[in-house]
Amino acid sequence: MKKGILITALVLSSGINSLAQQSAVDSTTAASPASSTQASPADAAAPPVTQLPGTYAPLTRADTARAVHELFKSRRGGGAGWLALGTAGMLASILPAQQSTSAGVWTPGVVAGTALVGIGLNKSIQFWWSREKRVLRELAATGHLPYSIKRRLKGNFMPLHGTASEYNPLLAKGVAPNGPAPSVSVSTAAQTLADARQDTLDAVQGFFNAKRLGGQLPILLALPGLRLMTGSNASSSSGSPYAPTQNNEPSGGQVAAGLLLAAGGVAYMFVHNAPYSDAKFAELRTSYLAGTPLPADIRERLKEKHVAAGRVYRARMERKAARRRR
């Protein structure tokens, strides 16, 4: 791709805003595109769209295909895990028997390992790549899913509405027909703008999450701080059981240094993460949807990886909210 997903979303947001300005009836305060470095007078006069990110059309086949792809991918990974666990158990039960001092093969370990390998093989065969392609081809052609797959599309694999720039498994090699490209439904201008804005918000969410994770790392300073405060020292232990017991009580300097390290890590975490909290993101999201451009210091630091990370986080939160509504 010549342009990243994030750049495409920002440019698309700019183009659709100008189209909405020409065709809209209301001329209220506008939504400036996230890709603009400076807000122009035309951007300030553009009317906001009525459809916001999170307000989507009905689910499409591409949305269902993404859920099917995630299901197969997860089950294949689980099958590989069962295979590895079962193989390790069998080897741990058989290999020691090769030694002259061994009492023989540990039969329960072999039986358990064989059962785990069987589970792994069953999952791998049931959710192999070839079957995934067959299911996706049937979904693309008829919109139908086998019951064994359809009943699993819930919880963590519940279909969610995706944006136009997300990966579409129906267009993958081996799934898309070899003939002329299938017709793609054309989204409305409002839906296209909503998708572009959602991509931008996903990038901001992924950026905030990455910064928060980086701010939590200094909390590890509490570990050496705890060691200093407890006075633990490997060299203070004596190898002789008859040696007098040594006093390992920490000195006042050690306690002060330990408290300083722990307090410094916690203080850095709170200070560093304060500009990237959920409350700050909600405030930024509200202002962005109301027409205020993204701050330049955030807009210039967004990357394609932040879009992908933000999408994964949003999908997890939406599925969690859906389970709570049941």
pLDDT number for residue 59:
84
216 pLDDT exceeds 90?
A: no
Query: In which band, very low, low, confident or very high, does the pLDDT at 259 lie, cut at 50, 70 and 90?
Result: confident
pLDDT number for residue 124:
93
Structure tokens at 156: 């963590």
Q: Identify which of 136-150, 157-171, 248-262 has the greatest average pLDDT.
A: 136-150
Asked if 255 contacts 229 with a C-beta cutoff of 8 angstroms, the reply is yes
Own/partner contacts of 290-295, CB < 8 Å, gap of 24 or more, are 290/29, 290/31, 290/48, 291/29, 291/30, 291/31, 291/32, 291/44, 291/46, 291/48, 292/32, 293/32, 293/33, 293/34, 293/36, 293/39, 293/43, 294/34, 294/200, 294/204
- pTM surpassing 0.75? no
Q: Which helix (H) or strand (E) element contains residue 120?
A: helix 107-126
Return the exposure string of 199-210: e unless at least 16 CB atoms fall within 10 Å of the residue's CB, then b.
Answer: bbbbbbbbbbbb
Q: Identify which of 6-10, 83-87, 105-109 has the greatest average pLDDT.
A: 83-87
Q: How many CA atoms lie within 13 A of 202 on its CB side?
A: 32
Residue with tokens 């009317």: 47
